[in-house]
A and B are shown apart, each in its own frame.
Chain A
Amino acid sequence: MATTLFDIAAEKLEESSEMDQLEARGTLRLAVKEAGLDVQNLTIPQLQAVFEKLMPKELEARGVSDAAATCKAVMKDIASAASAADLSASNSPDEIFKRLGGS
């Protein structure tokens, strides 16, 4: 099975926190869903927004110490490790609907 950005991010989260694999993947999956994103088609900017805006709260709720630092560490790792797995969002429905309205 191909490695997705979600897999990479979950693995980095597991390494940077005291969470096990199941907990890391589950927590990230919940945050991605809360962000209205599709686990299979994540892009780096989307993951960064998830780790900036939603994950700190999720990690704190699960008792991870220094959630903000953990998120920063994961984001740094993702940016360097996942460039090959990044997907272009130029023809995503959001981009199309943006163009259609001239904005």
Chain B
Amino acid sequence: MEENAYIASIAAGIFFLVAGVRLLRLHRRTGERPELLLGLYFAFSGLYYLGYNIPNLFQIDTWPYQLDLLVEWTFVLGVFPYLFFIRSVFRPDDAWGGWIVGACSVFLLAGTVLTTDGGSVDYSFGNPWFIVQWLGYTAPSFWLGWEALLYRQNATKRARIGLCPPIVANRYLLIALFGGFQVLACLGDLSFANDINGDQAISLFTDAILGGTEIASVAVLWLAFFPPLFYTNWITRRAVILPTPMDG
């Protein structure tokens, strides 16, 4: 990975950690489950991003396998609350939502156990279990992006008749974008897996994409979870709310 990509990755890690802590504190106040699940996801993701980049940040050449394993499982453990968040918010009553959670969980567990088996973490196309693990952590982001986009469509309609605050309708879009950027970042993992096999041709391009998706993810999450007043006002002013015909 190129130096700039590390900086973006560390910045994303710190931001995810802050967002995670904020959501966990919100959970302490409200006692509601969605903020707990999403808070755990971001907290684990932040720890993973920081752990993953420590060897590069401090120029450590030899990194014990056990620490690699710990970092890897930190990431994987964060994906489970992420999956449960998507299911419980968007598809609480649909059986197929449960099947997606189940399938992703099996892929994640089997893929991670068998990718990290044998004394090293093998991210390459030579290891078919890497692809299984990849599916397990990429599918949730795709699912989140898709569901948030669908909800965004209806939320915009609800906003027109005053049933949904415009900033909430916009938040669905921001979360959909976050899901999309995470899928792009996951596609970058496939490129790195390809690089390990010897072909370095697209690594620089991947670094740029990865850095870009991390910065973009932070930007959309900032607007979603810490919306500045000017942004809230701008979205609210732009919203079209229908007048009540009976009043006229």
Q: Which residues of A contact B (CB under 8 A)?
A: 34-37, 45-46, 49-50, 52-54, 56-57, 68, 71-72, 91, 93-94, 96-103
**Chain A proximity of B224: nearest CB distance (Å):** 6
- Check B162–A98 contact: CB distance below 8 A: no
Q: Which residues of B contact A (CB under 8 A)?
A: 23, 26, 30, 32, 34-35, 38, 89-90, 151, 153-158, 160-165, 167-168, 171-172, 175, 224-227, 232, 242-246
Interface centre among B30, B34, B172 (most CB of A within 10 A): B34
Q: Which 4 pairs, one residue from A and one from B, show the smallest C-beta to C-beta distance?
A: A36-B157, A36-B154, A56-B245, A53-B161
| Docked pose: A72 CA to B245 CA in angstroms | 12
**A99 and B165 contact, Cβ closer than 8 Å, known pairs A35-B157, A36-B156:** no
- Check B161–A68 contact: CB distance below 8 A: no
| Docked pose: A35 CA to B161 CA in angstroms | 7
Q: A101: which B residues are within 8 A, CB to CB?
A: 167-168, 171, 224-225, 227
Instruction: List the B residue with the shortest CB-CB distance to A31.
Output: B161
Main secondary structure of the interface of A (DSSP, over half): helix
23 contacts between A and B (CB under 8 A): A35-B163, A36-B153, A37-B154, A50-B161, A53-B161, A53-B245, A68-B246, A72-B246, A93-B89, A93-B90, A94-B164, A97-B175, A98-B168, A99-B34, A99-B35, A100-B224, A101-B167, A101-B168, A101-B224, A102-B227, A103-B165, A103-B168, A103-B232
**A93 and B245 contact, Cβ closer than 8 Å, known pairs A35-B163, A36-B156, A100-B225:** no
**Chain B proximity of A2: nearest CB distance (Å):** 14
- Check A100–B154 contact: CB distance below 8 A: no
**Chain B proximity of A88: nearest CB distance (Å):** 13
Interface centre among A57, A96, A97, A103 (most CB of B within 10 A): A97
**A99 and B161 contact, Cβ closer than 8 Å, known pairs A52-B246, A68-B245, A72-B246:** no
Q: B30: which A residues are within 8 A, CB to CB?
A: 99
**A49 and B161 contact, Cβ closer than 8 Å, known pairs A56-B246, A97-B172:** yes
- Check A49–B163 contact: CB distance below 8 A: yes
- Check B168–A97 contact: CB distance below 8 A: yes
- Check A100–B232 contact: CB distance below 8 A: no
- Check A99–B163 contact: CB distance below 8 A: no
Since A35-B161, A68-B246, A102-B226 are in contact, a sample of 15 more A-B pairs with Cβ atoms closer than 8 Å, ordered by chain A residue number, is A35-B158, A36-B164, A37-B163, A49-B161, A53-B162, A56-B246, A71-B246, A72-B246, A93-B89, A93-B90, A96-B35, A97-B168, A100-B26, A102-B225, A103-B167
